[in-house]
Amino acid sequence: MSNIPTRELYDRYVIQTYGRFELNLARGSGCEVWDESGKRYLDFGAGIAVTSVGHCHPRVIAKMQEQIGTLVHVSNLYFTRPQGELAERLVRLTGPGKAFFCNSGAEANEALYKLARKFGNETAGGPRIGIVTMRGSFHGRTLGGISATGQDKVKKGFEPIVQGFAVAPSEDGYVAFNDCDGLRAAVAQPGVVAVMFEPVQGESGIHPATPEFLRLARQLCDERGLLLFFDEVQCGLGRTGDWCGWKTIAPDVMPDAVSWAKGIAGGFPLGAIWASEREVTLKDGTKKKLCDLLGPGSHGTTFGGTPLVCAGANEVLAVVEEEGMLENARTVGAYALEVLRKIASPKIKEVRGIGLMLGIELAPDFSTGCDRAPSLWMVDRLHEAGLLVIPSGTHALRWLPPLNVTRAQIDEAAAILAKTLA
């Protein structure tokens, strides 16, 4: 083992693609982590909504230890029980259809783009490749992901974007989130095949879709023969207090496909999509289910859905279900929203959220006295006080604690925030 300090190891050997904070984290348990010096922090970032059942949950550890001593990896040329069981669980939680497994949210969204291309090229009325996405969205760091993302900052230096995105008749090619008129105009463009958005935008600072927007998206896609995709990488699988984030907002709406990652396996690398059994008509007049469009050889990944990670994900989702974490996300999330809104500080413009996705927007005139963005400056100060949170843009903070966070921990985090603001 090297005796070089951790930070120096990164400076020497790790490509600097992240603006990292000055913390060397060493271990975690539940909603808490400790750095190399032994200092404790409340973790209200949870790996950006990843450690859904907290750090090192004993049931998940036991299941992973059992599986790692049994079978870790085989090719997807074969069948393994954990992957089949996880697919069954996801279909049960979502609706009739089938699942595909990969390694991350960006990969899951790439599977959705390919499903849209396949649908647009092989069904009557094609070819169609345009995917309508939203301003302020975030869909990953692949070339397809940054092209789908309605934020210029992720595209700089990687132009030109992938064909088929930025198709709306607006200045930047994206639809303003929750803009019903903008969505109507976008889907009327020639060559559009799908609409894709996050039911709760996360990276832009926690912005939920309105029920009207969700229902209009479904209506327009039905009228025009388009696909409706929900990116639930951050807001899905319990984060909002429901298995499906959109159902917290408009439970009567059903998409054609969904992407997941982050909290699905509690910290192990896994992404997935669900595609519905919607019947589609091919150019030759034959019919096929949407979930069967991506046939053998059309898509794949070496590490997607290994027995090890699927066994862990199955246990994570079982823990969420059996330990009442959906109800906890709803009730403790509502309590956190109430507590945050009681913080009387002119430095807070707005507090918003749904379940355990909470956004704290700082006042526009928030001054740090330095060239550090207010959100980053606040994150630094909160770290000093023992609280980990996630910045969003220049003026927002995200609270994304594990789904089993307690009211006492909410109170502790709110007290730290209030004292730091003061």
The 10s digit of each residue's pLDDT in 168-215 is 999 999 999 999 999 999 999 999 999 999 999 999 999 999 999 999
Asked whether residue 132 is assigned to any structural domain, the reply reads: yes
In the beta sheet, which residues pair with residue 102?
Answer: 271
What distance in Å separates the CA atoms of residue 98 and residue 78, rounded to the nearest whole number?
A: 17
What distance in Å separates the CA atoms of residue 180 and residue 7, rounded to the nearest whole number?
A: 48
pLDDT at 349: 97
pLDDT at 231: 98
Please indicate, yes or no, whether residues 129 and 232 belong to a single structural domain of this protein: yes
Contact (CB, 8 A) for 205 and 239: no
pLDDT at 368: 87
pLDDT at 212: 98
Asked whether residue 78 is assigned to any structural domain, the reply reads: yes
Please indicate, yes or no, whether residues 288 and 417 belong to a single structural domain of this protein: no
**DSSP character string of 65-116:** HHHHTT-----TTS--HHHHHHHHHHHHHH-SEEEEEESSHHHHHHHHHHHH
Contact (CB, 8 A) for 21 and 391: no
Contact (CB, 8 A) for 141 and 106: yes
Asked whether residue 1 is assigned to any structural domain, the reply reads: no
Residue type, 45: G
* Token representation of residue 204: 């832009």
What distance in Å separates the CA atoms of residue 208 and residue 143, rounded to the nearest whole number?
A: 26
- Domain with residue 398: its CATH number is 3.90.1150.10
Please indicate, yes or no, whether residues 355 and 402 belong to a single structural domain of this protein: yes
What distance in Å separates the CA atoms of residue 173 and residue 166, rounded to the nearest whole number?
A: 4
Residue 63 three-state SS: helix
CB-CB neighbours of 396 under 10 Å: 23
Percent helix, strand and coil across the chain, each to the nearest 5: 35, 20, 40
Q: Which residues of the chain have pLDDT under 50?
A: none
Contact (CB, 8 A) for 276 and 268: no
Please indicate, yes or no, whether residues 317 and 328 belong to a single structural domain of this protein: no
Domain count, the chain: 2
Q: Which residue has the tokens 């630094």?
A: 380
Please indicate, yes or no, whether residues 148 and 267 belong to a single structural domain of this protein: yes
By the 10 Å C-beta count (0-12 exposed, 13-18 middle, 19+ buried), 122 is classed as middle
Asked whether residue 337 is assigned to any structural domain, the reply reads: yes
Sign of torsion over alpha carbons 186, 188, 194, 198: positive
Please indicate, yes or no, whether residues 183 and 298 belong to a single structural domain of this protein: yes
pLDDT at 125: 81
pLDDT at 124: 82
Using only C-alpha atoms, what is the Rg of the chain?
Answer: 22
Sign of torsion over alpha carbons 161, 164, 166, 170: positive
Confidence (pTM): 0.97
pLDDT at 367: 86
**Cis amide leading into 127 (omega within 30):** yes
pLDDT at 1: 72
Please indicate, yes or no, whether residues 29 and 172 belong to a single structural domain of this protein: no
Range of the domain at 48: 6-53+324-421
Contact (CB, 8 A) for 132 and 186: yes
Contact (CB, 8 A) for 130 and 161: no
Residue 265 three-state SS: helix
What distance in Å separates the CA atoms of residue 261 and residue 193, rounded to the nearest whole number?
A: 24
- Domain with residue 209: its CATH number is 3.40.640.10
Chain-centre distance of CA 84, in angstroms? 23
Contact (CB, 8 A) for 205 and 138: no
* Token representation of residue 318: 């079982």
Asked whether residue 210 is assigned to any structural domain, the reply reads: yes
Residue 246 three-state SS: helix
Phi-psi region of 299 (alpha: psi -120 to 50; beta: other; left: phi over 0): beta
Please indicate, yes or no, whether residues 207 and 170 belong to a single structural domain of this protein: yes
Please indicate, yes or no, whether residues 86 and 176 belong to a single structural domain of this protein: yes
